[in-house]
Structure 1
Amino acid sequence: MGKKFYAVKAGRKTGVFEDWDEVQNYISGYKNAVFKSFKTPQEAWDFMKNKPSMTPEKPIISKNFEMIENADCALAYTDGSFDPLTNTYSYGTVILWKDKVIKMSQRFDNQIIVALRNVAGELEGAKRAMKFAQSNKIKELIIHHDYVGVAKWSLGQWKANLPYTQEYVAFAQNIQKDVKLNFVWVKGHSGDHYNELADQLAGQATLKEYRKVN
């Protein structure tokens, strides 16, 4: 794969960069991020100056819509829900990969795990995103979440005391043999488009997995 130059026109920091990991710090979770990759630095700077480019790719312009043009990387947004009437928990997950938006959700009635309520749902959503990344040979997954345990347990920063959270830790560790996991905390109900969509999917989930690709 040839060297790429990343132009960030709107983000926490703007400019032309060569390190994709650095670029992610400037765009991930940033509302209305605008960025694009180029084969030459001149094209990248022309894009920054609004000059025409020979590169046919469209810029990534978002209403909190960070579409990753690099097929080796995907973004995921997860949320969990609990329904006291049915005593069930569920997840909603939105994955942004290449030019696709993948929406998934499912409800569970495991009465051993249900005591964790919506936390169980969000962990299941994170697991589903991780499994998707592994199955599609995606090298890096950036998970946006509003429950901090999604990241803390995965990264070994919290001790897992319950059998279910221990299983989650083992699952995440196994995934990390193939996929680099990064985490971004998003405040719940803060207007983040994809976090709100994940929340909506979790609330509407059924016992049969829902999956739609746009």
Structure 2
Amino acid sequence: MSFKIYTDGSCHGNPGPGGWAFIVVANDEVVKEKSGSMEKTTNNQMELSAAIQGLFYFNEHVESKEVELFTDSKYVIDGINSWIHGWKKNNWRTSTKKPVKNEELWRTLDELNSKLTVNWIWVKGHSGDIFNDKVDLLANYATLGDCIL
């Protein structure tokens, strides 16, 4: 069985109220969708939270440990595929010796990533990918829900 996770984060203001969402798909059928929100956050934090929540769910509820994770966030893709190796080598410092922003989220994502075989795939946002468009709506709805409260 082929598994995919679609993730997205949203934020109104930066910082501001934000939302995250993920959808787990097996053989083109939705297995699980989930979203959440935070009152004061950033878009990057929500993008990371979406990936973390999706991988956490997958690790806890799906027997397979192989998954493709789709995100429209270059921040997440570049961070997990490239930057994180240098950060860990430099004790969670950037190449300019500054602390890594969102370090705790990155550490959590790295831990989950190490438990699974994840193929990280960037997908262009708002490009007609049905699951990416749906997860975008879920993240935005979660963000707006926080604004209404």
* TM-score normalised by L of structure 2: 0.75
1:54-73 pair list within 5 angstroms: 70=1, 73=2
Q: Is 1:189 paired with 2:119?
A: no
Whose RCO is larger (CA < 8 A, sep 6+)? 2
Q: Is 1:139 paired with 2:69?
A: no
Q: Which has the higher helix share?
A: 2
- Identity, % of aligned pairs? 23
| Counterpart secondary structure, 2:114 | coil
Residues 95 and 129 in structure 1, CA contact (< 8 A), matched pair in contact too: yes
Aligned pairs, number: 129
| Counterpart secondary structure, 1:177 | helix
Label 1:170 to 1:156 Cα distance change in 2 as closer, same or farther (>3 A). farther
Q: Is 1:175 paired with 2:112?
A: yes
| Counterpart secondary structure, 1:105 | strand
Label 1:90 to 1:150 Cα distance change in 2 as closer, same or farther (>3 A). same
Q: Is 1:96 paired with 2:25?
A: yes
Q: Is 1:124 paired with 2:49?
A: yes
Residues in 1 aligned to 2:53 and 2:139: alpha-carbon distance in whole angstroms: 13
* TM-score normalised by L of structure 1: 0.54
RMSD value, Cα: 2.2
Long gaps (5+) in structure 2: 88-93
1:162 paired residue number: 100
